[in-house]
Structure 1
Amino acid sequence: MIEFKFNTSKHGTALMKEMAPPPRQITCDRSHYAYDICTTNVETTLNPTTSTFFIQRPTAVDANQTATKIRPYPRKFDSPVMSRIKELTITAGTPIPSCHVKHEAPALVFSAGGYTGNFFHDFNDGFIALFITLNSFFDDKDVVLVISKARDWWVNKYATLLGEFSKHPIVDLDNDNKTHCFPHAILGLVSHGFMTIKPELMPNPKSLHDFHAFLRKTFGANDKNVSFNSFPRPRLVLLNRSSGDGRLLLNMEEVKMEMQRVGFDVIMFEATASTSLSKAFAVIGSSHAMVGVVPLGLESVAEMCFGKLAKMGLNYMEYRVRAEESSLIEKYGKDDVMIKNPIHFLNGRPWSQTTMNVYLKEQNLRLDLLMFTIYLNKAYKKAKQLVGS
């Protein structure tokens, strides 16, 4: 018989704790559909020239691990775009480079590549995800933003907003040649889905309403500053596209004239890469109504990306484009399945390369003004109430 004896004294308990393996100093969560996120739990040195993060004082367990890699952009499901995101390395290996710049605040590391330059993606893949991550991992919100693809035009465009996320200068992961030391680092951004913030998934619950309040504070505007009484007629923002990349209104001037006839003051607005966010916020925030184009075959995408969001605090009205109003009918014919039944043609997938190539890039619209005016009149009645409020 073999007898085991366990020392339950305080000394024995302390000895068992000493023998227990130390906590992992590099942890990665790769269980999510849209994103990976990695944390270094000790002092970390960044060598930008090799895109490598070294942990200080690696334990024996960490030192024996192979280096882990991450692409810090929250569209893991989108292989084509993820292939263009710079891959970063986190290692417990040596030698650890000497430190040129020492930071007191931890690093939050992400990429501004991918679909950056498109307003929707700048927020969906960028600033909403950044807001979620900041409020999920950093109690005091004091971080240094370490950004890949932080191109000058992007930094200038969003300088005010970036300054609200962090009071520290950005570390440019692509062009900096100095090593930087941080108390720890988070690599990656958390996404809750398309244009979504789910409070139940956050330790410090926030919502899209909180994000909107953050934007109002950032740009010095709030609901009380927008005096709808200062406009004699309701203002309508008509979102324009002139890039030749699809989704154009072929009878734009006629649509604009009809809006004016109904009673709106019409503001034509096209958001480009050089349009400042403060300008876009001011134009849209001072309007009573906004009209954007979502063409045939994209109804589910429109609802997922914009409809659900708008219904949180706006009166959302959907005008469903008919086949006769789409330019695709000229190319494919009215009896083609992609015209008669886009959902069946897409095999139930709301997003695909076909969606991009056909329904987004090839398609333009010529609205039926008789049908569209019915919706304009309804929108005008709602907007008129705001002018008198």
Structure 2
Amino acid sequence: MNGLTSNPWHDFSDVLIPLFITTRAYDGEIQFLVTDLRPWFVDKYHLILTNLSRYDIIDFNKDTGVRCYPHIIVGLRSHGDLSIDPARAPHNYTMLDFRMYIRDVFSLPPEGQGIPYKETNKKNKNGGTSTEEQKPRLMLINRAGIRKFVNLPEISAAVQAAGFEVLVVEPLRDMSLEDFSRQVDSCDVLMGAHGAALTSFFFLRTNAVMLQVVPWGLEREAMSYFGVHAKNMMLQDIEYSITVEESTLYEKYGKYHLAVRDPEALRKQGWQLLRQYLWDEQDIRLNVTRFSLTLHQLLRTLGE
């Protein structure tokens, strides 16, 4: 549990998905011996950990006893960043299987139910208590640190004006994941700037939408870290790539800085510079007029 845990993307990519690949086929008949145990991690993901194993977790750094097992697996199997290769996984598990597993563990509605606003409108048409058309609900992730929306109120107002109900959320490490999973499940769209909080897409229903706002120069990362996996999990992936004028790098450094005029050339100079400018120093000021076209596309997608 060491390394980059505490970042949700790494929690899933580096620990939970490899743990699923390695142990799910044992149906709970396995015990975890954990080095560098982080109590907060066990508390936050206890539903997953206690489902994968019926036995107490052992803090292996503090364990003084002699333990005898008929079989031991050292380390975890990983197939790559936030991914599962069915050809290498027990029972040919897929990322879709993992999303369904997560939804089951958190007691979210079973497969077969439509996205929330369609389900509500269907019930109302079939004799429900309300005759008012339900608006699709969009969760807008508010990042407090890097790659944040600097004009969040303006964005929220534009989303509402386009015909959505908006739920603005700032995910925190110590929040109840059970409560948060139900919030995400209640939404038809998960929207946020490229970053770890989009890992919440595991709690979405089939055919719900992940709307990823792609910072300047990060199109490649947006697709490989989230876009591909969303599609593999039967979610709809819509990406809005900002223009350079929508990046605060343009305001800060001007149009002639390498990070502004040629991100690909910056990429060739190495990870450290790429991270410094495109990941750590960049915030987003959405042009809501331009973004409204994506919102209308999103409404059409949800209505199909």
- Alignment equivalent of 1:173, drawn from 21, 42, 60: 60
Ranges in structure 2 where 5+ consecutive residues have no aligned partner: 122-133, 195-214
**CA–CA distance in 2 between the matches of 1:113 and 1:273?**
16
For residue 121 of structure 1, report the CA deviation from its aligned partner.
Answer: 0.8
For 1:207-356, list aligned pairs within 5 A: 207-221=94-108, 222-224=110-112, 227-228=116-117, 229-230=119-120, 232-242=134-144, 244=145, 246-294=146-194, 295-312=215-232, 313-347=234-268, 352-356=271-275
SS in 2 for 1:324: helix
Compared CA separation, residues 139 and 168, structure 1 to 2 (3 A): closer
* Aligned positions, number: 268
- In the superposition, the TM-score normalised over structure 1's length comes to 0.65
**CA–CA distance in 1 between the matches of 2:223 and 2:46?**
30
Q: Kindly indicate whether the alpha-carbon contact (under 8 Å) linking 2:27 and 2:52 is maintained by their aligned counterparts in 1.
A: no
AA aligned to 2:160 is: Q
Q: Which residue of 1 aligns with 2:283?
A: 364
Q: Kindly indicate whether the alpha-carbon contact (under 8 Å) linking 2:116 and 2:188 is maintained by their aligned counterparts in 1.
A: no
**CA–CA distance in 2 between the matches of 1:269 and 1:166?**
32
Compared CA separation, residues 288 and 333, structure 1 to 2 (3 A): same
**CA–CA distance in 2 between the matches of 1:288 and 1:182?**
46
For residue 141 of structure 1, report the CA deviation from its aligned partner.
Answer: 4.8
Query: Is structure 2 residue 20 aligned with structure 1 residue 131?
Result: yes
For 1:91-102, list aligned pairs within 5 A: none
- In the superposition, the TM-score normalised over structure 2's length comes to 0.82
**CA–CA distance in 2 between the matches of 1:290 and 1:203?**
30
Normalized per residue, the structure richer in helix is: 2
Q: Deviations over 1:96-151 (max 9, x none)?
A: xxxxxxxxxxxxxxxx111111111111111111111125xx65551101112322
Q: Which residue of 1 aligns with 2:203?
A: none
Compute the RMSD of aligned alpha carbons.
2.0
Larger radius of gyration: 1
Q: Deviations over 1:331-360 (max 9, x none)?
A: 3221222112212211186xx233332212
Q: Kindly indicate whether the alpha-carbon contact (under 8 Å) linking 2:27 and 2:53 is maintained by their aligned counterparts in 1.
A: no
For residue 203 of structure 1, report the CA deviation from its aligned partner.
Answer: 4.6
SS in 2 for 1:236: strand
Q: Kindly indicate whether the alpha-carbon contact (under 8 Å) linking 1:326 and 1:365 is maintained by their aligned counterparts in 2.
A: yes
Ranges in structure 1 where 5+ consecutive residues have no aligned partner: 1-111
For residue 325 of structure 1, report the CA deviation from its aligned partner.
Answer: 0.8
Identity of aligned residues (%): 32
